[in-house]
Amino acid sequence: MNIERELGQKLKEGVKVNEPMSRHTSWQVGGPADYFLCPADTSELKEIVRFGRSRALPLYIFGNGTNLLVLDGGIRGLVVKIGEYFNYVRRSGDRLEAGAGTQMTNLARSAAQEGLAGIEFAAGIPGSLGGAAVMNAGAFGCYIGERIDAVRLISYNGESLTLEREEIKFGYRTSNLPGKGIVVEVILKLKKGHPADSLEMIEHFLRERSLRHPELPSAGSVFRNLPGQPAGKIIEEIGLKGMSIGGAEVSCKHANFIVNNGYATAKDILSLIETVRRKVREECNLELQPEVKIIGEEK
Ligand SMILES: Cc1cc2nc3c(=O)[nH]c(=O)nc-3n(C[C@H](O)[C@H](O)[C@H](O)COP(=O)(O)OP(=O)(O)OC[C@H]3O[C@@H](n4cnc5c(N)ncnc54)[C@H](O)[C@@H]3O)c2cc1C
């Protein structure tokens, strides 16, 4: 079976073989994807899903790779990026229909310019809207799930599917969306606002982020907060800021971030995650759970 030829000829962007995932993750680490695909529309996405199913190939979907630790051995099967082709925002009354590849900052700005309020907090979250919906991304006390009215997906059978608000379950950095299919469009219900007020809030949130967050490559918060206890505070209090393994370091600016000093491998980051968890367990009798998704194979 020549996947590159068989599937590639059906897709505008073709198929990349052994594409390094380090090019597609914000941590800038990760081994090769066997077959890397960027569908140009939902028809191509359906084609990919059906092709993968008919040949029993594993399928992995991702967006901007800002919440992913891809291990150094890479990902087997078909790896699909929901990217720029799914980047659009359309207004319909007090609703916005936006493609899953829309950047969160652009979404916040587009809503503001339309005079729709309530999504300003999303500015600066570096993910795609699809990834944000799946993760129920949030900031400054707000969550994207609170604004979602419906989600359009492609099921794992390759069929179009719409989930209404009451069919979607959102929790702290989780949702039931991955079990249903691939997110291609999100419908947000927003309030009427004033563009200038929303744009000012956006600038405020962006400033706050640049004060709090390290500049080096990271995947944002590595661990989930415990009830009433921010993970970063726990890690800082036991003196782990600045701890490093290889090129991975617990950020001195924000203890829940692990940064890549330029030469980290996924193994360095994974070892540091495990070491932080062990020390927190030993010293505080608390169990930290990763918020980042750890995927692929070790080398
Ligand atoms: C500097 C920095 C700051 C951050 N700040 C925040 C923050 O304030 N709040 C916050 O919540 N997060 C934050 N994050 C984490 C991350 O940006 C969010 O979790 C974001 O929503 C992930 O989106 P993504 O497109 O990068 O998803 P990815 O990392 O590509 O994927 C994340 C998960 O979603 C799945 N997925 C992605 N797209 C789809 C799709 N279209 N259909 C089905 N499944 C999909 C993937 O399989 C994976 O399980 C930060 C990250 C960084 C690097």
Model pLDDT, residue 1: 61
The closest of 258, 261, 250 to 294, measured between CA atoms, is: 258
Model pLDDT, residue 2: 87
DSSP label of 176: S
Write down the domain spans for the chain.
3-84, 87-212, 231-295
Question: 87-212: which CATH architecture?
Answer: 2-Layer Sandwich (3.30)
DSSP label of 121: G
Question: 3-84: which CATH architecture?
Answer: 2-Layer Sandwich (3.30)
Q: Is the CB of 129 under 6 A from ligand 1?
A: no
How far is Cα of residue 279 from the mean position of the Cα atoms in its chain?
27
Q: Is the CB of 63 under 6 A from ligand 1?
A: yes
Provide the Cα torsion 185, 66, 225, 187; round to 10°: -10
> Can you tell me which atom of ligand 1 is nearest the CA of 137?
11
Q: What's the CA gap between 139 and 229, in Å, rounded? A: 16
Mutate-to-test residue for ligand 1 from 25, 59, 88, 135, highest number of ligand atoms within 8 A of CB? 135
Q: Is the CB of 130 under 6 A from ligand 1?
A: yes
Q: What percent of the chain has pLDDT over 90?
A: 99
> Can you tell me which atom of ligand 1 is nearest the CA of 126?
17
- Average pLDDT (34-38) is 98
- Side-chain-side CA neighbours of 250 within 13 Å: the count stands at 23
pLDDT in tens, 48-106: 999 999 999 999 999 999 999 999 999 999 999 999 999 999 999 999 999 999 999 99
Q: Is the CB of 127 under 6 A from ligand 1?
A: yes
Q: What share of the chain is helix, strand, coil (3-state, %, to 5)?
A: 30, 30, 40
pTM of the model: 0.97
pLDDT at residue 196 greater than cutoff 90: yes
Residues designated catalytic: 173, 221, 291
Model pLDDT, residue 63: 98
Distance from Cα 65 to the centre of ligand 1, integer Å: 6
pLDDT in tens, 225-279: 999 999 999 999 999 999 999 999 999 999 999 999 999 999 999 999 999 999 9
Instruction: Please give the single-letter amino acid code of residue 242.
Output: G
Write the Ramachandran bin of 204: left for phi over 0, alpha for psi from -120 to 50, otherwise beta: alpha
Q: Is the CB of 213 under 6 A from ligand 1?
A: yes
pLDDT at residue 162 greater than cutoff 90: yes
Q: What's the CA gap between 270 and 268, in Å, rounded? A: 6
Q: Looking at the domain that runs over 231-295, which CATH code has it been given?
A: 3.90.78.10
Nearest CA to ligand 1 atom 46: 62
Per-residue confidence band for 290, with pLDDT thresholds at 50, 70 and 90: very high
